[in-house]
Amino acid sequence: MQGVNVKSEIGNLKKVILHRPGDELLNLTPNTLEELLFDDIPFLPVAQEEHDAFANILRGEGVEVVYLEDLMAEVLDAKPELRQQFLDQWIYEAGIRTDMYHDIITDYINSNYAGTKDMVMKTMAGINLQELPQKDTHLLVDMVSDRCKLVCAPMPNLYFTRDPFAMIGNGVSINRMYSVTRNRETIYGDYIFKYHPDFAGTPTYYDRNDTFHIEGGDILNINEHVLAIGISQRTEPDAIDAIAHNVFNDETSTIDTILAFNIPSSRAFMHLDTVFTQIDYDKFTIHPGIMGPLTVFEITPDGKGGTKIRERNEDLEKVLSEYVGQPVKLIPCGGGDRIAAEREQWNDGSNTLCVRPGTVVVYQRNNVTNDVLYKQGINCLEMPSAELSRGRGGPRCMSMPAWREAL
């Protein structure tokens, strides 16, 4: 499976990119939770057990599971000359601007993490001051700093591999993330899609150095002709305009329509896929809270290298039915019960990963929503989620499909 091929949300899943939570979660503290976009601190051993269960569910369904950290290590092993370039870039993007600390951190990593994968994992985990050798730097900041201070912040959100980059048909969007702490996550995708033999040469529809924010949780492939993107707390409309221009003007792309979903900007409705996912040919999960304020814009080529935009004022079912090609059913999170919907939406009840039409991976804890899905004929593969759910993301958030079979 050379390159990428994701032209739907429900086609038989053949290859997926995950990141197993690592020591980056150990560098979460109550004082850094808000900055690092967490509401609580997951217990790492249990989070890893749950993530392993997730990966094993996928393998049991015939999916090839590859890990972000392994792909990055393979790039650097194949091209050792990139190691120092990557390390320099990572140190700079971690906010280190002095030659002295650049050299201290470089020496520390090269001395203690000579193995490529160990080094990659350390860049994900972050560095605090007490790890570095104590040197008399003659700097006031070092005399007054707490030795537990984070010098290079961790990337605890990395197990949500959906967001830093997103497959669009046979291409990829390498995203500019909403927050500074997550924007560094896209370094790995940048190297993988430039240099990894399995992915190099993939058309790039957005670049991490572009101006506007967009995250993969807002990008849904409806079919080979239609792409849905959420205008959300973390994705700006300007980025959608840019992707539309690049996709429509790529002769290898089959996409001729982008549906922009304008969803409320809030933590509970962080991305489009936290409130809306496709689970079968004619079925979608949806959080009932977005039904009222949801507006859909249809973006198509204007035939002159630009785009034309039309606001769709019809019911969501009608708009989706038109583009899916048959009547659709929207299945509400929590079965429509307001309290259950709000509770299970907090734990991503609408955020499912479709393995094949009608078979989805879900969090076990969302039992009300899962029961509703069962009654609608959906095969739910339930995974444990006591700790992973603390990061506010579900099975779709934790996975980046690289290859799906055609419908």
Q: Among the three residues 107, 130, 152, which one is the final residue of a domain in this structure?
A: 152
190 and 311: one domain?
yes
Cβ neighbour number for residue 375 with a 10 Å cutoff: 10
341 and 192: one domain?
yes
What is residue 202's predicted lDDT score, i.e. its pLDDT?
A: 96
How many domains are contained in the chain? 2
- Catalytic site includes residue 397: yes
What is residue 97's predicted lDDT score, i.e. its pLDDT?
A: 84
What is residue 241's predicted lDDT score, i.e. its pLDDT?
A: 95
255 and 337: one domain?
yes
Is residue 250 a part of any domain in this protein? yes
What is residue 10's predicted lDDT score, i.e. its pLDDT?
A: 97
249 and 320: one domain?
yes
CA distances from 61 to 13, 14, 91, 378 (A): 9, 9, 39, 15
47 and 74: one domain?
no
Averaged over successive runs of 10 residues, the pLDDT of the chain (407 residues) comes to 93 98 90 80 94 97 98 97 96 88 90 95 91 63 51 92 96 93 93 96 95 94 95 91 95 94 69 85 84 81 91 86 92 77 66 94 88 93 91 90 96
Q: What is the CATH number of the domain that holds 28?
A: 3.75.10.10
Residues 6+ apart with CB under 8 A from 294: 261, 262, 263, 316
pTM of the model: 0.93
Q: Among the three residues 124, 152, 180, which one is the final residue of a domain in this structure?
A: 152
Question: Distance between CA atoms of 390 and 42, rounded to whole angstroms?
Answer: 6
123 and 43: one domain?
no
62 and 74: one domain?
no
Q: Where are the beta strands (DSSP E) in 19-116?
A: 64-67
Q: What is the CATH number of the domain that holds 132?
A: 1.10.3930.10
Is residue 37 a part of any domain in this protein? yes
Residues 6+ apart with CB under 8 A from 133: 104, 108
Provide the CB-side half-sphere exposure for 244 (13 A, CA). 26
What is residue 318's predicted lDDT score, i.e. its pLDDT?
A: 87
What is residue 140's predicted lDDT score, i.e. its pLDDT?
A: 41
Question: Distance between CA atoms of 315 and 295, rounded to whole angstroms?
Answer: 9
178 and 280: one domain?
yes
Question: Distance between CA atoms of 97 and 82, rounded to whole angstroms?
Answer: 21
63 and 74: one domain?
no
Question: Distance between CA atoms of 119 and 126, rounded to whole angstroms?
Answer: 11
Residues 6+ apart with CB under 8 A from 318: none
Q: Among the three residues 103, 132, 152, which one is the final residue of a domain in this structure?
A: 152
53 and 84: one domain?
no
373 and 294: one domain?
yes
What is residue 7's predicted lDDT score, i.e. its pLDDT?
A: 96
Is residue 8 a part of any domain in this protein? no
Dihedral sign computed on CA atoms, order 132, 135, 139, 143? positive
Question: Residue 24 is which amino acid?
Answer: E
129 and 175: one domain?
no
| From 152, 333, 380, 397, the catalytic residue | 397
